[in-house]
């Protein structure tokens, strides 16, 4: 076990599987007490992974973890989650907003209900959880917020436009990730004087996780999940005075630090 996060509490959302699980495991291995949340608490044959499995794997590796089930599309669940985490292990020093829901469909037929749900999960929930975390971070004089974003949030270039932008149905996904990037930068600016870092991280290529497989995102060029966990660790432990307002793509970000060939 490392001690890079010793004495810190990290709250990681969407940690029953995929990127959230990997980041929670990395922060725990670095010494953090990790609070994990998702909708799936117990193993379920309909899903890959659960909070219980993530928690037990972290504990088996010598780490400290608690699990709190929550539906982060609901205001009351977000408030309850924060209350339960604070009561059990203390207010988070580190908040990782990873939980997401994604539907792929052309925008001219995109259901408004699903659009609202994606906006709630990708933008409103990270904002609300950050608002809940900031008071204790201000009191401590330090804090780290990391939002998991995507290169899909980049503005499409054209015309002509690529098949990805015209045919793949990623318009709403790109929209909410672009909004999350802007939210990240705005929070970083507003919280800079409080010594609270707010950053975002995106894999340079799709990572072969269960979610990516479901969405057909990882059929060809994929990225080692270790690159995103390393990026997350750096952004969750860097000096808030100098490492904030970063929208990091894993490969160029790590290459700039001499950690990627």
What pLDDT score does 260 carry?
A: 87
In-domain check, residue 137 = yes
Rg (CA), the chain: 17
Contact status, residue 137 vs residue 236, Cβ threshold 8 Å? no
**Among 148, 139, 143, CA closest to 236:** 143
Contact status, residue 210 vs residue 49, Cβ threshold 8 Å? yes
d(CA 191, CA 185): 10
In-domain check, residue 261 = no
What pLDDT score does 210 carry?
A: 59
Q: pLDDT tens digits, residue range 20-34?
A: 999 999 999 999 999
Whether 173 is a known active-site residue: answer yes
In-domain check, residue 245 = yes
Q: pLDDT tens digits, residue range 199-251?
A: 999 999 988 765 554 455 544 567 999 999 999 999 999 999 999 999 999 99
State the catalytic residue, choosing from 47, 173, 192, 233: 173
How many Cβ atoms are within 10 Å of 226's Cβ, its own excluded? 12
Is 0.85 surpassed by the pTM of this model? Answer: yes
In-domain check, residue 4 = no
Share of the chain above pLDDT 70, in %: 94
Q: Which CATH number goes with the domain that contains 132?
A: 3.40.50.720
**In which domain, by residue range, is 136 found?**
9-256
Q: pLDDT tens digits, residue range 72-126?
A: 999 999 999 999 999 999 999 999 999 999 999 999 999 999 999 999 999 999 9
In-domain check, residue 200 = yes
In-domain check, residue 1 = no
Give the number of C-alpha atoms closer than 13 A to the C-alpha of residue 190, restricted to the C-beta side. Answer: 11
In-domain check, residue 24 = yes
Residue 242 backbone dihedrals phi, psi, to 5 degrees: -125, -20
d(CA 179, CA 173): 10
Domain count for the chain? 1
What number is the average pLDDT over the span 168-191? 97
What pLDDT score does 69 carry?
A: 98
- Is 50 exceeded by the pLDDT of residue 43? yes
Helix, strand, coil % (nearest 5) of the chain?
50, 15, 40
């Amino acid at each position: 076990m490392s001690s890079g996060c010793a004495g810190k509490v990290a709250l990681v959302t969407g940690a029953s599987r995929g990127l959230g699980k990997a980041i929670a495991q990395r922060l725990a291995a670095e010494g953090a007490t990790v609070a994990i949340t998702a909708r799936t608490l117990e193993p379920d044959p309909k899903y890959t992974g659960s909070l219980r499995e993530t928690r037990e794997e972290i504990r088996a590796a010598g780490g400290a973890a608690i699990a709190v089930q929550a539906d982060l599309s609901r205001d009351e669940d977000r408030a309850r989650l924060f209350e339960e985490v604070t009561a059990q292990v203390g207010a988070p020093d580190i908040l990782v907003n990873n939980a997401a829901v994604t539907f792929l469909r052309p925008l001219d037929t995109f259901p408004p209900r699903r659009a609202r749900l994606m906006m709630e999960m990708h933008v409103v929930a990270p904002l609300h959880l950050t608002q809940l975390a900031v008071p204790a971070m201000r009191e401590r004089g330090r804090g780290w917020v990391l939002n998991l974003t995507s290169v899909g949030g980049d503005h499409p270039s054209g015309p002509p436009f690529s098949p990805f932008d015209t045919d793949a149905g990623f318009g709403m996904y790109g929209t909410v990730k672009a909004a999350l990037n802007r939210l990240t930068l705005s929070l970083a600016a507003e919280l800079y004087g409080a010594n609270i870092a707010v950053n975002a991280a995106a894999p340079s290529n799709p990572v072969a996780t269960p979610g990516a497989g479901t969405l057909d995102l990882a059929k060809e060029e994929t990225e080692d999940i270790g690159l995103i966990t390393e990026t997350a660790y750096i952004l969750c432990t860097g000096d808030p005075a100098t490492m904030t307002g970063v929208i990091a793509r894993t490969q160029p970000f790590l290459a700039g630090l001499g950690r990627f060939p």
